[in-house]
Amino acid sequence: MTTVGSALRTGPRFLLTRWPWRAVLAVLCGGVLSALTVIGLVPVVLLGLTRALRAALWEPMVRLQCARLRLIDPDTAVRADARVREASAARRLPTARHITYVLAGTVFGGAVFCLVALGFAIAAVLLAAPLIVRADYLDFGPWMIDEPAEAWTVAGAGALATVLLLVFAGAWSALDARIARALLTPDSDRWRREAVRIESSRSALLEAEGFERELLESELHDRVQHRLVALSMNLGLTEAQDANGPAGRLAAEAHRQVDETLSELRAVLRGFSPRVLSERGLEPALTDLAADLPLDIRIDLGNTDRLPPAVEHMSYVLVAECLTNIARHAAAAQVEVRGTRSGSRWILNVTDDGPGGAHIVAGHGLDRLQRRLAALDGQLTVTSPPGGPTTIRMECTV
């Protein structure tokens, strides 16, 4: 049992521990701090004209509350005190949370102190009834106690009242500790752990996607493409054996269709994830990609090291999409692909000298890339004024 709250959850055993008396002491300290706060609040408000002075005035007030918390929840008190010192060093005292806790402790802590003090005073009189009746009597208005038997009954009521007061002090202290945890030590660690978990899950998903992509590329390249090449060779032999006959003509047509299929498959592989990208890196892969296009393409990625596989793949897909759009839709002659790495950020620009007017269309290639880029904590922007040039910019974390 490390807090008064955990001790309360043990039931009647709570009364046999030290926690009830620590709770009572915390209530008494709370009453004293309430009185001191009421006395000192006006000068604190009037004198706290600058940030440094406000921090210097509020720090002892909040740290005294943290010292009182050590009686009922030591761990929370230590964390709260550390955060108060950090906030004071950064001149961020008082925050709204600190003000709320101090004011709430002043009002409710003072009220609970008065109730507990009055309750123990009455309980003390009831417990002393047998001693008082020996020489005098107790007068409770319509109820006069002057017999020893009645006095012992009153003493039993006093003992029961003491137990109830101890439980009440413990319950209030447990609530006070919970309020302190919420206001003085907000659980940012939980959100930090959740952010780490989400980041780990995202990284795992990206790695799994990369593995599946490489596996699919390998299957298409090593099996499907090789089978199509073998079929193309067999059809070529058939065509040569019966060049002018019906079988030769059918073989020639089939040969043409297989060659077209091979070309389309190579185009898919080139835009999907070419083997040269994983084996040699982004710049050689982009060089191979640009070699098949009727454009003057300049590629400059600087002297950067290999990027993470997910970033290299996204960069390659983006350039492939841009070059395809430029070749099909833009009357451009020159394209510049420039990549730079700045700290933990990777920036890739694709600029063409076309007439401009490009934009992201919902559901199309750049829009899909924009959504996929969000998984890398990145963003995609398009700058394309009328008359050009058009620049498509990718920026993400590496």
Domain boundaries, given as residue ranges, for the chain: 4-186, 216-272, 279-397
What percent of the chain is predicted at pLDDT more than 90?
Answer: 18
Residue appearing with tokens 């990027």 = 307
- Average pLDDT (333-344) is 88
At 45, the pLDDT band (50, 70, 90 cuts) reads low
pLDDT band at 138 (very low <50, low <70, confident <90, very high): low
Please give the backbone phi and psi of residue 267, each rounded to the nearest 5 degrees, phi first: -65, -40
The pLDDT score that the predictor gives to residue 174 is 92
Give the pLDDT confidence score for residue 205 in this predicted structure: 62
Is residue 389 within 8 Å of residue 354, measured between CB atoms?
A: yes
Task: Of 225-234, 315-324, 354-363, give the lowest mean pLDDT range.
Answer: 225-234
**Closest to 172 in 3D by CA, of 121, 219, 108, 229:** 108
pLDDT of residue 191: 62
Using an 8 Å Cβ cutoff, are 265 and 256 in contact? Answer: no
- pLDDT reported for residue 112: 93
The model carries a pTM of 0.50
Over residues 145-174, mean pLDDT:
87
DSSP assignment letter at 50: S
Residue bearing tokens 């003390």: 124
Q: 64-120: per-residue pLDDT in tens?
A: 999 999 999 998 899 888 888 888 888 787 888 888 888 888 899 999 999 999 999
List, for residues 212-256, the tens digit of each pLDDT value: 656 666 666 666 767 777 777 777 777 777 667 777 777 777 777
Instruction: Using the Cα atoms of residue 372, residue 374, residue 379 and residue 385 in order, give the sign of their dihedral.
Output: positive
What are the pLDDT digits (tens) for 3-29?
A: 888 888 888 888 889 999 999 999 999
Closest CA to 352 of 337, 370, 365: 337
* Pairwise pLDDT comparison (44 vs 101), residue with the higher score: 101
| Long-range Cβ pairs for the range 335-340 (8 Å, 24+) | 335/295, 335/296, 335/297, 335/298, 336/297, 336/298, 336/300, 337/286, 337/290, 337/297, 337/298, 337/299, 337/300, 337/301, 338/300, 338/301, 339/282, 339/300, 339/301, 339/302, 339/304, 339/315, 340/302, 340/304
Model confidence at 265, in pLDDT bands (50, 70, 90)?
low
* pLDDT of 272 strictly over 60: no
Write the single-letter amino acid at 292. Answer: D
Q: Yes or no: say if 286 and 316 are a contact pair by the CB < 8 Å rule.
A: yes
Neighbours of 160 (CB within 10 A): 12
DSSP 337-368: EEEEEETTEEEEEEEE-S-------TTSHHHH
The hierarchical CATH code for the domain 279-397 is: 3.30.565.10
Residue 188 pLDDT > 60, yes or no? no
